[in-house]
Structure formats: C-alpha cells, structure tokens
Structure 1
Amino acid sequence: MRPISFLSRGFPRGLALVGLLLGGAAWAQALATPGWVRLVPPVVKDTAAYLTLENRGSTPLRLVAVETDLAQRVSIHKDHREHRGGQVVLGMRPLPYLDIPPKGRVEFRPGKYHLMLEGLKRPLKPGEKVTLVLRFQDGTKLKVMLPVEMR
C-alpha cells in the first residue's frame, strides 16, 4: 500500500510526517511533528528518537509498537527519577504502550518519553534520515522520517 503524503494535502510544512499507511479508521487522527534521533559514537548500539505525537481525533490513540530497518527493535521508554536511600536514582523504564488522549499530545524528549532504538545494525551518520513506522492499536500505521543529530 502506498503512503499518502500529508505535506501535499495542505498539512503544515515542517511536519516530520511522511505519510500514513491506511489500515485504521483514524487515518488523519495521528500527526507527528518534527523530531530527531540522537547521534551516538559508532561503538554504541542503542540510541533514542524524539518527536511529538498529536491526536487530532475525539477518541484515544494507543501507540503499541514502533519499527525500523535500522535497529533490531524499538521500544517505548519513559525516564524516571526516584529517591532511594537518600540518593536520587535516574533511569528509564520500557512501556508496553502509550496512550495519546483525544485532542492531546505526547512529547518524546530528553528526560521524558523516548523511543529506544536497540541493537543498531550499523553506525549512524549526522544528517541521515531514519524511517520509523509507528503502529497503533487500531491498526493505523504512521511513517515518520527523523534526522540524526548531535545534541
């Protein structure tokens, strides 16, 4: 099935959205705004991707999986902070899914949510585009392209 480009259908320029593969009823419900993938040294096999997901619909959206040809797997993570024995412990936890409320948005950014690209199959290059396919519970797929950046 061929992706539909929203950039040619009057959607705002600058969206990191490439297209939505029709598979669910909410084809125009999910939008992705610009994001990026963190550039890591060639010996590092994991990295993070960041973007903002917006739900323009009146029903919740549940992000259940993300895929890329560039890594063995992609998981949804949330950074957390807890106090343990008088110390602040920072970490991250994988999430089985992420809900985006109706008319709401979820920001994937450092210190909050991120997409963990695990088991990179090759080193990343600055400026290259990484294609991710976001899969929602209703069968909708959202394809995004994010630039690799050193931040």
Structure 2
Amino acid sequence: MKKLILGALLAVSASLAAAHEYQAGKLLIGHPWARATAPGATVAGVFLTLDNSGGDAADKLVAVATPAAERAELHSMSMDNGVMKMRPVPAIDVPAKARQALAPGGLHIMLTGLKQPLKEGASIPLTLTFEQAGPVQVQVKVEALGASAPAGPKH
C-alpha cells in the first residue's frame, strides 16, 4: 500500500514539474520555451501561452526583460506575398475568458544580443510585465534546435 501511494505521489509530482506553469493574477502562463541556438547566433524567439479563461477582465503583456540578452521585445510575424515580416508590437492583448498563444510563426518574444548560445536542457529567466497583473518571473526551458513545440505533455 505504501509503495502504491508513493508511486502515485511521484507521478503527480512529475506531472506538476512537467506542467511548467506560472500564475500572474488571473493569468496562467503555460510552458515558456525557446529553441536551442547555433553557435554564434545572437537572436532567439520565446514562446508560451497566456490563459485568461478564468479572468473577467482583459489584460495586456506590455514588457519583457531577461539578463540572457541585451534586448527582449514583443514581436509579431506574418507572411506578406511570400515574404516573412517580423515587427515589434507595443503590447500583446490577452482577452478576458480567452487564451493567447505566442508561438512560432506568430506572436512571440524576440531576444536580441544573446550573451551566450541557448543550449538544449538549460533554462533562462524572463520577466513578463502585464498591464493589470504586474510583473512575474518565469523560467524559459530551452528545447531542441529544430523544435516546433515544447517537449512533453500538452499544456
């Protein structure tokens, strides 16, 4: 019986650790991640989900910062007549009772002037600042170089 209970506790603990989620007010920040970078690369994208489905009021992600890079900015990416366009945006809306994804090919956080390459398995600190919920520090997990989504269970 003790082994069964211990096994169940370990499974729950591993599941929570894999969840890699953070709370900022009513916002749930899901699995911040980035791709590993090649040697000499000076830029990287950070991706995550912002879940405000439990919130009655909209919020905005208004700033990002990390000691791992000279600059961190909010960006959008789009295709225009076959040309990829990446642009800084002043804020990212997080509507009430909705979820906003920052993902490859769309909204994301752009790190420029990386102080060292991002290595798979490492993590870097990132501070997200929201208009209503305020600042929250998260750890960005570095995934494989060609990752298209975070490893592990869906969040």
Give your verdict on TM over 0.5: yes
Which residue is equivalent to 1:114?
108
Quote the offset at 1:139 in angstroms: 5.7
Q: Report the secondary structure of 2:71's partner residue.
A: strand
Asked if the contact 2:32/2:138 (under 8 Å) is kept, the reply is no
Distance in 1 between the 2:19 and 2:114 partners? Answer: 25
- Is residue 43 from structure 1 mapped to residue 40 from structure 2 by the alignment? yes
Structure whose residues are more often helix by fraction: 2
RMSD: 1.7
Aligned equivalents of 2:133 and 2:58: distance in 1? 13
Structure 2: gaps of 5 or more residues: 1-14, 148-155
Please name the residue that 2:27 is paired with: 30
**Counterpart contact for 2:77–2:85, Cα < 8 Å:** yes
The one-letter code sitting in structure 2 at the alignment partner of 1:40 is T
Measure how far apart 1:19 and its partner are. 5.7
User: Are 2:22 and 2:30, in contact at CA under 8 Å, matched by a contact in 1?
Assistant: no
- The CA distance in 1 between the partners of 2:61 and 2:23, in whole Å, is 16
Paired with 2:135 and 2:19, the residues of 1 have a C-alpha distance of 16
Q: TM-score, normalised by structure 2?
A: 0.76
Residue in 2 that maps onto 1:76: 74
Amino acid in structure 1 at the alignment position of 2:21:
L
| Mapped partners of 2:92, 2:83: distance in 1 | 23
Cα deviations by residue, 1:20-69 (Å, 9 ceiling, x for unpaired): 5xxxxxx2x11111231111112011100111011131111111001111
What is the identity percentage for the equivalent residue pairs of Structure 1 and Structure 2? 34
Between Structure 1 and Structure 2, the one with more strand by share is 1
> Over alpha carbons, which structure has the higher Rg?
2
Could you state the TM-score of these two structures normalised by the residue count of structure 1? 0.78
> In the alignment, is the contact (CA less than 8 A) between 1:17 and 1:145 conserved in 2?
no
